[in-house]
């Protein structure tokens, strides 16, 4: 039975213009976010899917023999309307969702899965692709064309094109079920996170919290119509509270809330974890793979599941030994300063870490935040791109964003040519998931000589301005900003004919290189001195303070490395199963992460239920790639250090060989073209100070 919402949407499609379907009158064809309403999505998806199917039919029914142009390129440039509608919808599902959109997604998801299967399991279409593939060596294709053909052919095979008719039906059904389960997982995670708040009305409960954390709590309480101070599980709220609160009981309370999110009750994801990996395993088995990880990494730089574990272990063994020393050293410090428990607990670690960091380096977030006003950081991050790549950013107040907090910039090259629209969304809200990410509303491509430049979006969760202070970043948040901006540059500077090969459309174990290399500038004195000024006094950050930042760069580096590796091991554990775990999801997680434990495990806590990267975010069997990319960037940035951190020749090489190329060539080849050799894990271990640099 059609719901009232569906009926209304269908009526609206007949009686009003749909801004998702009509040509935008805004500069560069920017999305008309000020006109888009929830009721526009369903009719837009319906029309766009019908049009995309018709384009596929036109290819398959073409009486002419299959050619690269009439089949491979025709597929590549088809579905333009559907790409536009789905990019807007799914990006807003992450950045500015609501219950209506979430419910709508449950209707749209099967439609999208059905279309995906309509393409990937289309026998006549695959016959044409296969015919071109078999004669590929005689076609005289250019490098990017051969790359597109290869990815198209393998995409069909890896999406079930060679399965029997019965198995194709099963494959299609499994993918639809996975899609719906992932939607429910995301919905539960966001709802469970938003369901918790710590409201304090006694000022004594704020013991230890610096003024900026108190102001944040007061602002949140005010927004929620509450008295006192309110803290939530969003990163700008949870992180500072557990780091600074002297109230161990309250730290424990918020820690347990954060680490039991979506583990029980109405928003329980524990069984969804199992259901998602079970169906992924079934997909992999159908395609002839032992497990899902084997299926995923076959087409990644790492090459095999065995190589993933070898890589993780190569980093883990020396890192664990160093991390154990770091934790023991911290415990000794805590004990010497009045800590009486037999071991540090999880809710103690951040608090004592901050105390020891301050004692060791005379450095704290409270000291640094006044120097990193968001507006200055924006100018500095954009300015770094101007210095390195000659591009500029001009705010466009007349182009609407999807939320009032979003600012839009026109990015231009050295000659003033338009490169991209850049949407920046910095502040947390209940409609936005936690974390930080870069995405696109439109990618770059060239069709029939007409180039479409990208619409890139950067989304973060930085502390909002309060009644008394502007938005001030921690140094870690500045690093996060640079990281996501690196992804953004990958999209902004994209060049090429085929959108599926440009920008961030690269292997997952390569995509983090452009982002992680940017983090290095956050520790460069020559860069920090350009913009880090106290927001009240205008005082430039001192050389001494910068040196402390540099000295503290590797503070607890081994501990943090082990933590990241533990996530990689957990990801691989979930995706190397050959049968569904019989134990609870919590027990499975504890077993998977046991060897990486540096603190006593906390009963009934787990992270899998909110591990969106691997359950909904495209990093399944790929979380190792963050460390893989760190190895790449440690080696790559050493060239900037050697030639100069603002060296335009090195920057031009990085732009031309990495940022602009996308996946037009094999990623390992692109890296060798830039650096001249393959990287080794030792480069990262040396950078983090875990092993000594060879003399």
DSSP 373: B
Helix spans in 16-79 (H): 38-60, 74-77
Q: Buried (b) or exposed (e) across 163-202, using 16+ Cβ within 10 A?
A: beeeebeebbebbbbbbebbbbbbbbbbbbbbebbbbbee
Structure tokens at 470: 């502007």
DSSP 540: B
In which residue are the tokens 């918020």 written?
254
Q: How many angstroms separate the CA atoms of 460 and 95, rounded?
A: 9
Structure tokens at 381: 């991050």
Q: Of 73, 354, 484, 512, which is the active-site residue?
A: 484
The yes-or-no answer on residue 484 being catalytic is: yes
- Closest by CA position to 76, among listed 166, 151, 176: 151
Long-range contact pairs involving 159-165 (C-beta distance under 8 Å, separation at least 24): 159/116, 159/120, 159/121, 160/120, 160/121, 160/286, 160/287, 161/120, 161/121, 161/123, 161/126, 163/121, 163/286, 163/287
Structure tokens at 476: 């870690």
Q: How many angstroms separate the CA atoms of 608 and 351, rounded?
A: 24
Q: Are 504 and 492 a contacting pair, CB within 8 Å? A: no
How many CB atoms within 10 Å of residue 420?
Answer: 27
Q: Is 333 helix (H, G, I), strand (E, B) or coil?
A: helix
Kindly write down the DSSP assignment for every residue of 526-547, as one continuous string: HHHTTT-B-TTT-PBPPHHHHH
How many CB atoms within 10 Å of residue 500?
Answer: 18
Identify the H or E element spanning 328: helix 305-336
How many CB atoms within 10 Å of residue 16?
Answer: 12
Residues in contact with 82: Cβ distance below 8 Å, sequence separation at least 6, in sequence order = 45, 48, 49, 51, 52, 115
Q: How many angstroms separate the CA atoms of 280 and 60, rounded?
A: 29
Structure tokens at 275: 């259901």
Q: Are 244 and 209 a contacting pair, CB within 8 Å? A: yes
Pairing of strands 418-425, 229-231: unpaired
Residues in contact with 229: Cβ distance below 8 Å, sequence separation at least 6, in sequence order = 199, 200, 201, 205, 206, 214, 217, 218, 220, 221
Q: What is the CA radius of gyration of the chain?
A: 25
Count, in order, helices (H) and strands (E) of the chain.
Answer: 28, 9
Question: Largest Cα–Cα distance of the chain, in whole Å?
Answer: 83
Structure tokens at 563: 């933590």
- Closest by CA position to 74, among listed 161, 142, 132: 132
Q: Are 391 and 385 a contacting pair, CB within 8 Å? A: yes
Structure tokens at 25: 């009158």
Identify the H or E element spanning 144: helix 143-158
Residues recorded for the chain: 695
Q: Are 259 and 602 a contacting pair, CB within 8 Å? A: yes
Name the burial class of residue 647, with classes exposed (0-12), middle (13-18) and buried (19+) by CB atoms within 10 angstroms of its CB.
middle
Q: Are 286 and 163 a contacting pair, CB within 8 Å? A: yes
Residues in contact with 527: Cβ distance below 8 Å, sequence separation at least 6, in sequence order = 380, 384, 521, 645
Catalytic residues: 484
């Amino acid at each position: 039975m059609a719901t009232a919402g569906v009926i209304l949407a269908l009526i609206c499609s007949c009686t009003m213009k749909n801004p998702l379907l009509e040509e935008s009158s805004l500069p560069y064809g920017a999305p008309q976010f000020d006109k888009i309403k929830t009721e526009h999505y369903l009719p837009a998806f319906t029309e766009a899917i019908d049009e995309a199917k018709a384009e596929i039919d036109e290819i398959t029914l073409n009486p002419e023999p299959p050619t690269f142009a009439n089949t491979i390129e025709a597929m590549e440039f088809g579905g333009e309307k559907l790409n536009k509608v789905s990019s807007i919808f799914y990006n807003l599902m992450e950045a500015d969702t609501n219950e209506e959109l979430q419910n709508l997604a449950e209707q749209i998801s099967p439609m999208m899965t059905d279309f995906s299967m309509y393409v990937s399991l289309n026998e006549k279409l695959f016959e044409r692709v296969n015919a071109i593939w078999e004669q590929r060596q005689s076609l005289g294709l250019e490098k990017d064309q051969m790359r597109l053909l290869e990815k198209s052919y393998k995409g069909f095979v890896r999406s079930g094109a060679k399965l029997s008719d019965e198995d194709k039906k099963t494959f299609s059904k499994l993918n639809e079920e996975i899609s719906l389960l992932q939607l429910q997982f995301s919905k539960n995670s966001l709802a469970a996170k938003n369901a918790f708040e710590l409201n304090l009305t006694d000022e004594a409960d704020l013991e230890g919290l610096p003024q900026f954390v108190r102001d944040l709590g007061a602002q949140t309480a005010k927004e929620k119509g509450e008295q006192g101070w309110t803290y939530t599980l969003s990163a700008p709220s949870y992180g500072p509270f557990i780091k600074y609160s002297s109230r161990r009981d309250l730290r424990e309370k918020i820690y347990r809330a954060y680490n039991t999110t979506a583990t029980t009750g109405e928003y329980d994801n524990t069984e969804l974890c199992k259901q998602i990996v079970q169906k992924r395993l079934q997909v992999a088995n159908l395609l002839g793979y032992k497990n899902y990880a084997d299926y995923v990494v076959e087409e990644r730089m790492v090459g095999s599941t065995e190589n993933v574990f070898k890589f993780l272990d190569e980093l883990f063994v020396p890192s664990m030994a160093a991390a154990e020393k770091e934790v023991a050293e911290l415990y000794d410090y805590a004990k010497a300063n009045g800590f009486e428990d037999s071991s540090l607990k999880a809710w103690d670690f951040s608090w004592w870490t901050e105390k020891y960091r301050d004692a060791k380096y005379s450095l704290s977030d409270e000291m640094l935040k006044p120097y990193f006003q968001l507006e200055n950081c924006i100018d500095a991050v954009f300015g770094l791109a101007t210095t390195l790549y000659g591009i500029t950013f001009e705010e466009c107040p007349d182009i609407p964003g999807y939320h009032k907090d979003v600012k839009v910039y026109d990015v231009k090259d050295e000659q003033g040519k338009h490169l991209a629209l850049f949407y920046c969304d910095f502040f947390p809200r209940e409609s936005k998931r936690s974390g930080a990410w870069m995405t696109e509303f439109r990618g770059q491509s060239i069709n029939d000589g007409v180039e479409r430049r990208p619409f890139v979006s950067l989304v973060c969760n930085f502390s909002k301005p309060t009644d008394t202070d502007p938005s001030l970043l921690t140094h870690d948040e500045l690093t996060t900003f640079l990281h996501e901006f690196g992804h953004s540059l990958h999209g902004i500077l994209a060049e090429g004919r085929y959108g599926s090969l440009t920008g961030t459309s690269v292997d997952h174990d390569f995509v983090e290189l452009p982002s992680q290399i940017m983090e290095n500038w956050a520790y460069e004195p020559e860069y920090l001195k350009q913009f880090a000024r106290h927001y009240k006094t205008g005082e430039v950050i001192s050389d001494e303070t910068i040196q402390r930042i540099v000295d503290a760069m590797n503070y607890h580096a081994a501990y943090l490395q082990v933590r990241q590796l533990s996530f990689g091991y957990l990801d691989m554990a979930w995706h190397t199963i050959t049968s569904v775990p019989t134990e609870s999801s919590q027990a499975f997680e504890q077993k998977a992460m046991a060897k990486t434990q540096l603190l006593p495990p906390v009963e009934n806590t787990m992270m899998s239920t909110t591990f969106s990267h691997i359950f909904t975010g495209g990093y399944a069997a790929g979380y190792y790639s963050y460390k893989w990319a760190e190895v790449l960037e440690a080696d790559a940035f050493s060239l900037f250090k050697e030639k100069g951190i603002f060296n335009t020749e090195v920057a031009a090489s990085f732009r031309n060989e990495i940022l602009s190329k996308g996946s037009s060539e094999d990623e390992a080849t692109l890296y060798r073209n830039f650096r001249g050799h393959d990287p080794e894990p030792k480069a990262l271990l040396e950078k983090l100070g875990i092993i000594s640099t060879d003399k």
